[in-house]
Copies of this chain bind each other. A is one copy, B any other.
Amino acid sequence: MINSDDRKLVGQSVYEQLRSDIVTGKLSPGEKLKLNALRIRYSASVNTLRETLMRLVSDGFVLFVDQKGFSVKPVSTADLRELLELRQMLELSAVRKSMENKAGQMEWKSALISAHFRLNCIEKLMMEDEGSHVQAWEKADRDFHVTMVSHCGSQQLIRYHASVIELYMRYQVLALHRRPFRGQASVEEHQKLLKHLLDDETESVLTILDSHIQKGLFLPDAEKIPLKVKSKAIA
């Protein structure tokens, strides 16, 4: 149900599984990633795993220390705040560019409508049946925002934004296991965003987007964020 294509290379599929397990918290923040345990859990050889983990290190999901191996990147409120701020900087700038880029607006807007439709469907589901759609919602929400910036004309900006939003969404997913979905408010914001995007009302979009991103922020009461730090068995 998650993995459709069997022709996918081992490396690619392990990469996706590992990243997904980190984002959803199946691998806890801070947890040590021992190669032998992973070898069994993901049915891949040590070499393939190292290759994959190194990618995740560069992506910011995994830490690596010489001779001591890998561990899941810990979470912290400071890190979340930093990512939020970066996301705002990159996403606002990229959305502005997307809107100012007049060529190919029709295709872009059509993609926006399509992404928004999918997001809307899943948000409705989320309001009835919370937990079971978290992952689908994460993907749909990310897709919508990625589509918004996709027309900005800068591949590098798109790349860095994608990287930041992926790290950011990890916090969203982890948080959704401990607090309810924002629900109607979020749905309305997405609705408004789409409307103003289609109507070329740049400033409205940027204003709403700015606060939309801000409101997604979930700072746990104390410093509770290190959700689980004890290393649990992984094999």
What residues of chain A have their CB less than 8 Å away from a CB belonging to chain B? 9, 12, 47, 50-52, 54-55, 57-60, 66-67, 78-79, 82-83, 85-86, 89-90, 93, 154-157, 159-160, 163-164, 167
- Identical chains in the assembly: 2
Known: A9-B66, A55-B58. A86 touches B47 (CB 8 A): no
Given contacts A51-B54, A89-B89, contact A159 B66 (CB under 8 A): no
Please name 7 pairs of A and B residues whose Cβ atoms are closer than 8 Å in the assembled complex, sorted by A. Answer: A9-B67, A47-B47, A55-B58, A78-B155, A85-B154, A85-B157, A156-B164
A79 contact set on B, CB distance < 8 A: 155-156
Which of B12, B59, B66, B86 contacts A157 (CB under 8 A)?
B86
Q: Which of chain B's residues has its CB closest to A8's CB?
A: B66
Contact A154 B51 (CB under 8 A): no
A6 to chain B, nearest CB (A): 14
Given contacts A55-B57, A89-B93, 18 further A-B contacts (CB under 8 A): A9-B66, A12-B66, A51-B51, A51-B54, A54-B54, A54-B55, A54-B58, A55-B55, A58-B58, A60-B156, A78-B155, A79-B155, A79-B156, A82-B157, A85-B157, A86-B157, A89-B89, A156-B164
- CB of A160 within 8 A of CB of B86, answer yes
Give the 8 A-B CB pairs with smallest separation, nearest first.
A58-B58, A82-B156, A47-B47, A82-B154, A54-B55, A51-B51, A51-B54, A55-B58
Taking CB atoms, residues of chain B closer than 8 Å to A89 are 89-90, 93
In the docked arrangement, what's the CA distance between A67 and B156, Å?
A: 25
Chain B residues positioned under 8 Å from A57 (CB to CB): 55, 58
* Most B C-beta atoms less than 10 A away, residue of A54, A83, A154: A54
**Contact A156-B66, Cβ < 8 Å, known A50-B51, A51-B51, A58-B59:** no
Scoring A57, A86, A159 by chain B CB atoms within 10 A of each residue's CB, the highest score goes to: A86
Contact partners of A58 in chain B: CB under 8 A: 54-55, 57-59
CB-defined contacts of A164 to chain B, threshold 8 Å: 156, 160
Least Cβ–Cβ distance between A8 and chain B, in angstroms: 8
Instruction: Closest B residue to A81 by CB, please name it.
Output: B154
